[in-house]
Structure 1
Amino acid sequence: MIGILTKVCDENDMITTLLANNAGPFTGPGTQTHVFGDQDTCVVIDPGPSLPEHMEAIYSAIGHRKLCGILLTHRHGDHAGAALTLQVNLNTSIMAFPILPSDHYRIPEGRFYTDFDYEAIHEGDEITVGSLTLSVVHTPGHCFDHVAFVCKQTGDLFVGDTIMAWSSTAIVQPEGNMEAYRQSLRKLYHIDVQRFHPTHGDIIHDPKARIVQLLAHRRKREEELFSRLGAEPMGLSELRKIIYPQLPENLYAGAETSLLSHILDLNDRGIVTWSKKGVVKQENAQCDPMIWNL
């Protein structure tokens, strides 16, 4: 159902979740915008794509309340596409993790929205939302600028694209990094909350168990990839055909860039060598499954 998806999170009446009409292979059921706050004050977390009906739903969810800002988990278009329009129409600030000059080579053409002024937020910053407080958690991996927002008063953590219930997270190039993703999962595991709120898909009511599942999934994918490699270079398309033999064509590019993220991680660990010719296994190299432990 497009529009108001839910207004109640267990015993709390602090979250209105709005589903955008942008379902697809990489967005699942669509982008979910969270309007979080008390009776008088709120913030918008991930305003989503610039769709008129979705923005109208956001205006309705805010209602009479004071808007403290627009919070971005990251700058992908399905999360930040409506940010500038809402910023102008509501005369409010956008808060996002900063992009440093050294990060500009990692901004993918056409996938990042950067055409707005913003207030930089960092690990540990606190955002006051009326009687509530959101703390910023830097969670790179899916993107270098990715953050999550935790409210310890209510036990809710808005995880963006770092964790989803319906799928594993896409770690794509050039903005993604597998080692950073591992570290972010570990960091989130040790935050004591009751619920994860992804920007795509259902609420996760057993956060720690989901993180354990995701680490196990990535370890299995790494082991499968490593087992296919040898002394002769193999390209991404060749590996994709072997590891994802029945994948729909519209997911080829996503699968190949996800494999590339695993390969670059193995390359950084000295287990494989990656070049334009393809990837080869280092002689006598072995994967250490312990790297995927908590």
Structure 2
Amino acid sequence: MIEAPTGVALAVDPLVTRVLAPNPSPFTYTGTQSYLVGTSDLAVIDPGPDDPAHLQALLDAIAGRPVTAILCTHTHRDHSPAAAPLKAATGAPVIGCAPLTLNDAGLRADAAFDTAYAPDRVLADGESIAGTGWTLTALATPGHTSNHLAFALTEARALFTGDHVMGWSTTVVAPPDGDMAAYMASLDKLMARDDRIYYPAHGDPIENPRRFARGLLGHRKQREGQILRLLREEIGAIPAMVARMYVGLDPRLTGAAGRSVLAHLLDLRARGLVQAEGDAWKLAA
């Protein structure tokens, strides 16, 4: 496990430096990890929350070097708000995911969308930017959010996975914007790649990417099977499902678990396997 002092610039690869934001929580683990890519000129991935101490830590790590781009994987409030003050301090353009504002503060405070995010350029799937000794290519990975991007660092065979794949927990997929079918398809997309390592926004680097992604796919399929078994037992209310499926869960995470169950149910309904009946669910007739 990586030691994770807040605000300290930690080299995790010759081309990659990590700076941890001071926003630990049950959803962010030790906090959001911002990454600096490059040695002479830099890209900053996921600048993090709008926190003056974190902004100063990023500027200290940048150490006066030119910043080519500020890249955001998605627009949850623990990832993109520092882009604007970092742009003001460095002059770098904000590049990456598309803007997305959704009135969805019910899950958790730090998953609210960043309404002020205003990119100078949106990267399409497969589009690249480059600096001295580094190339970053956008990889569309919707599921956690519809605008989520990962960024592949060609020279290190590394993938910055944002919240699509995390190093400490499974990803929350919360409707209405979170989509389980899209999330699973994005995992399949990662399985077809040959990345050497993942650098997630939360948690440790992942050194066996394909095996890890395969495990996430298996976990989601196991959850799907649990839901279908509960429906066969005529347990169709989401709170009752969560109580059976997530034994010993931190109560602060109950709402998020319910949203992930709902995401599975919506996917199963789209496939014709279940149907809603009021506030409850049942197997399709």
Structures share fold, TM-score greater than 0.5 = yes
Match of 2:72 in 1: 72
Q: What CA distance in whole angstroms lies between the structure 2 residues aligned with 1:239 and 1:45?
A: 37
1:52-67 equivalence runs, <5 A: 52-67=52-67
Kindly tell me the number of residue pairs found equivalent between the two proteins: 275
Query: Does residue 127 of structure 2 align to residue 125 of structure 1?
Result: yes
Aligned to 1:171: 173
The alpha-carbon deviation at position 89 of structure 1 amounts to 2.4
Question: What residue number does 1:108 align with?
Answer: 104
Q: CA deviation at 1:107?
A: 5.4
Find the counterpart in structure 2 of residue 6 from structure 1.
10
- Give the AA of the match of 2:216: L
Structure 1 match to 2:141: 139
The secondary structure found in structure 2 opposite 1:170 is coil
Deviations 1:152-185 (A, max 9, x none): 2211110101111211111112221111111111
Contact kept in structure 2, 1:231 and 1:280, CA below 8 Å: no
Q: What is the CA–CA distance in structure 2 between the aligned matches of 1:27 and 1:5, rounded to whole Å? A: 19
Instruction: Output the amino acid matched with 1:108.
Output: D
Structure 1 stretches lacking a partner, 5+ long: 284-294
* Correspondence 1:1-294 to 2 at 5 A: 1-4=5-8, 6-9=10-13, 13-38=14-39, 40-99=40-99, 108-109=104-105, 111-118=112-119, 119-230=121-232, 234-283=236-285
CA contact (8 A) 2:72 2:80 kept: yes
Give the Cα–Cα distance (whole angstroms) in 2 for the partners of residues 77 and 275 of structure 1. Answer: 34
The aligned counterpart of 1:292 is: none
Q: Which amino acid aligns with 1:281?
A: L
| Distance (Å, rounded) in 2 between the aligned partners of 1:98 and 1:166 | 26
Give me the whole-angstrom Cα distance separating, in 2, the residues matched to 1:141 and 1:5. 30
> Aligned equivalents of 1:175 and 1:187: distance in 2?
20
Question: Amino acid of the residue matched to residue 58 of structure 1?
Answer: L
| Alpha-carbon separation, structure 2, partners of 1:211 and 1:35 | 24
Secondary structure of the corresponding residue to residue 255 of structure 1: helix
Counterpart CA distance in 1 for 2:27 and 2:233 is 34
Measured after TM superposition, the shift of residue 281 of structure 1 is: 0.8
Q: Secondary structure at the match of 2:198?
A: strand
Equivalent residue of 2:269, what SS? helix
Alpha-carbon deviations, 1:121-169, whole Å to 9, x = none? 1101111122211111000011100001101221111010111121111
SS of residue in 2 equivalent to 1:128: strand
Q: Contact 2:81–2:117 (CA<8 Å) still a contact in 1?
A: no
CA distance, structure 2, for counterparts of residue 163 and residue 217 of structure 1 = 13
Q: Secondary structure at the match of 1:44?
A: strand
Deviation, structure 1 residue 5 = 5.5
SS of 1:211's partner is helix
Cα drift, residue 68 of structure 1: 0.8
CA contact (8 A) 1:4 1:16 kept: no
Taking only the aligned residue pairs, the percentage that are identical comes to 34
Q: TM-score, normalised by structure 2?
A: 0.91
Q: Do the aligned residues in 1 keep the contact of 2:96 with 2:138 (CA within 8 Å)?
A: no
**Contact in 2 for aligned 1:264/1:274 (Cα 8 Å):** no
Q: Note the residue ranges of structure 2 that are not aligned, 5 or more in a row.
A: none
AA in 2 matched with 1:187: K
